[in-house]
Homo-oligomer: A and B are copies of this chain.
Amino acid sequence: MNTIPQGLLTPQILVDVDILERNIDRVAQNVAGKGLALRPHAKTHKMHEIAARQLDSGAVGLTVATIGEALTFALHGVADLFVAFPLWVSEVQAARIRKLLRYVRLSLGTDSVAAVEQLARQLGDKANKLGLMIEIDSGHHRSGVHPRGALDVARAARDAGLNVIGIFTFPGHSYAPGRAQEVAAEEQQALAEAAGLLREDGFELKRISGGSTPTAELADNSLLTEVRPGVYVFGDAQQFELGRCRWEDIALSVASTVISRHEGDELIPRRIVLDAGSKILGGDRPAWASGFGRILENPDARISAVSEHHATVLWPEDQPLPAHGEQLRVIPNHVCVAVNLVDQVTVLRAGEVAERWDVAARGLNY
């Protein structure tokens, strides 16, 4: 990324569209080369302009987390959407799903007999228009049914007249240093076990879907049919520190200004303070991370604390502190939550402000 354009109010999110497009194309080619379908997770960006680029480069559809996100992308012409979340479908939610079913090919996650029965009850004769994807717990122990329990869920769906089209998992426990390889193997094993049980019982599995950004790279088509990475479009400090993206592939940063600086002494830390806090960076800070994000201009600086409107940055001892008013770019730890904090992003092409994009699905939590 180039320098920060003059005259920007800070803090605000910058997207380098040259890097963004390179990331989208690289992963599209890589996934296609392995004979896998790419269904990127749009919760990361929530923007029509990025969805369009993903579909143009060959994505088969989008993954989303909520019905609200699905409606937003459906109204903008995305024809195939997968809500990778085990929804509990209430009456009011069912009405929104029926609306979606009129316009798009929709698939939905589920992980229990109870949720399947509720879905059938609420959707009535529309229920079989939906593609049901059974969520498998591959070791993350969040949602998802144990592989051995998948058959009960699939049979309940069949009995209720629903259409089971596949299985999926989210190997979220891959978000720790050195874990990607091991977790990719667990992911493969859990899906293989569930797929085996279901096929033996006569289920035809059109889609077997896996892959967080850390494990998608390691995926092959021996079992999986598609992957759903999200963060790869932007990269972030977390992926960089996990060794899953390069510094030069980071497409999103938060322009910020030095508002306070302190040379420090034996009692008080030497530091600068930036005007980017948790209300634009997000508050995510895994135990293994070096801090609350990274500074694009200085890989050796450490963000030791954030509050809502401040980031406290420990500057390398052998380097002079940046001046008051100097602008620096912060790489968020977790880009999905940073994007969800702003209504628009500023888009740079060749270092110049080219456009402003709306975060169209921002805040659509249901």
> Is A10 an interface residue when CB atoms closer than 8 A count as contact?
yes
Residues of B within 8 A of A276 (CB): 365
A323 to B115, CA, bound (A): 11
How many residues of chain A have a CB within 8 Å of chain B?
67
Mark interface residues in A122-136 (1 if CB within 8 Å of B CB, else 0).
Answer: 000000000000000
Chain B: minimal CB distance from A258 (Å):
7
> Is A197 an interface residue when CB atoms closer than 8 A count as contact?
no
Q: A66 with B142: in contact, given A9-B93, A366-B11 (CB under 8 Å)?
A: no
Selected from B43, B118, B308, B341, the residue in CB contact (under 8 A) with A325 is: B118
> Is A261 an interface residue when CB atoms closer than 8 A count as contact?
yes
> Is A189 an interface residue when CB atoms closer than 8 A count as contact?
no
Residues of B within 8 A of A42 (CB): none
Mark interface residues in A85-105 (1 if CB within 8 Å of B CB, else 0).
Answer: 111101111000000000000
Q: A309 with B9: in contact, given A118-B324, A259-B115, A283-B283 (CB under 8 Å)?
A: no
Residues of B within 8 A of A66 (CB): 309
A143 to B271, CA, bound (A): 9
Interface positions of A (Cβ within 8 A of B): 7-12, 43, 65-66, 85-88, 90-93, 111-112, 114-115, 118, 137, 141-144, 146, 172, 257-262, 268-269, 271, 273, 275-276, 278-280, 282-285, 305, 307-310, 312, 323-325, 334, 336-337, 340-343, 363, 365-366
